[in-house]
Amino acid sequence: MADLSQRLPENAEGPFFVDTTCIDCDTCRQIAPATFGETGDYSFVKLQPESPDELRAACRALVACPTGSIGAADKSGIPAAVRQFPFPLAPRLSYCGFNSRKSFGGNSYFLEHPGGNWLIDSPRFVEHLARRFEEKGGIRYIFLTHRDDVADAAKYAERFQAERIIHRLELSAQPDAERVLDGFEPVELAPGFLAVPTPGHTRGHCVLLAEGGFLFSGDHIWWSRNRGRLTASRDVCWYSWREQVASVRRLESYSFEWVLPGHGARAHFPPGEMARQLSRLVEAVAA
């Protein structure tokens, strides 16, 4: 829990606050954009929640914060916020919450499927999430987009005897992973699930295209709230920007409705509009 004595001066007066341990991961701004803003160095409370929906969202942000940097004078809403995770985004699709500091606050997702449920990247290991996953049929596959966002994947794999999937070039992050991808050609992992290598952010980065139009994009592409479009960033490209641009172009071969990133905001459009947004992104990164 956050320390009131380290409360940031930018916070609006009121019960919610952010302290100096914030790492500017964007988690709270994604979950509760009406409450939390950014300075460029960290998040802060720009407006105290007013409506019941805003209050619930602020409590979810507090629970999800990877560094425990959000505080609240009234903690009565926190147990209910915990129970809301995994938080539904679409039929069968949920956002896990409980973001991990190990992945710099990266998002992770849970996708229910008759052939076995999927965890995409990993949240913190918490017993509440593990029990909820059990209630929904457990986890069969854990797809890890790249080395940065594995967090507590090994603990979830052990709990559920799940198969972790990661590219060989990222294997140092999960050296005992059960399935290792090689090369740079798409690989069908199960009917309706395609791993697409997208080198750039890291050398072995991969995205997962899942049935239902879900693209789990890791740190490859995301929605920029400030720009109002899909984006990718040279500033957080650790391997090769040229490779990342080529990988963005590669996605034009596929149809999807959702972009579900590890970092950055999610996007949801009908396939035609998503294709148009992706074309805009290709033009932007090529320039």
Structural domain of residue 208, as residue ranges?
85-286
Listed residues 23, 50, 82: the one ending a domain:
82
Quote the mean pLDDT of the chain: 97
- 206 and 132 share one domain: yes
Question: Quick one: average pLDDT of 232-242?
Answer: 95
CB-based burial label for 194 (10 Å; 0-12, 13-18, 19+): middle
- 153 and 15 share one domain: no
- 149 and 96 share one domain: yes
- 10 and 31 share one domain: yes
- 177 and 108 share one domain: yes
Question: Quick one: average pLDDT of 236-255?
Answer: 96
Residue 1 has pLDDT above 90, yes or no: no
- 128 and 185 share one domain: yes
- 125 and 239 share one domain: yes
- 235 and 278 share one domain: yes
- 46 and 113 share one domain: no
- 172 and 56 share one domain: no
Q: Domain holding 24: CATH number?
A: 3.30.70.20
User: pLDDT at position 240, please?
Assistant: 97
Task: Report DSSP state, residue 246.
Answer: H
Question: Quick one: average pLDDT of 187-192?
Answer: 97
User: pLDDT at position 212, please?
Assistant: 79
- Give the chain's domain count: 2
- 170 and 248 share one domain: yes
- For residue range 110-125, list pLDDT tens digits in order: 999 999 999 999 999 9
Share of the chain above pLDDT 70, in %: 100
Query: In angstroms, rounded to a whole number, what is the distance separating the alpha carbons of residues 182 and 168?
Result: 6
Q: What are the φ and ψ backbone dihedral angles of 277, each rounded to 5 degrees?
A: -65, -40
Listed residues 23, 52, 82: the one ending a domain:
82
Q: Domain holding 176: CATH number?
A: 3.60.15.10
Residue 256 has pLDDT above 80, yes or no: yes
- For residue range 116-170, list pLDDT tens digits in order: 999 999 999 999 999 999 999 999 999 999 999 999 999 999 999 999 999 999 9
Question: Quick one: average pLDDT of 252-273?
Answer: 97
Query: In angstroms, rounded to a whole number, what is the distance separating the alpha carbons of residues 256 and 266?
Result: 13
- 41 and 106 share one domain: no
0.85 exceeded by pTM: yes
Question: Quick one: average pLDDT of 49-64?
Answer: 98
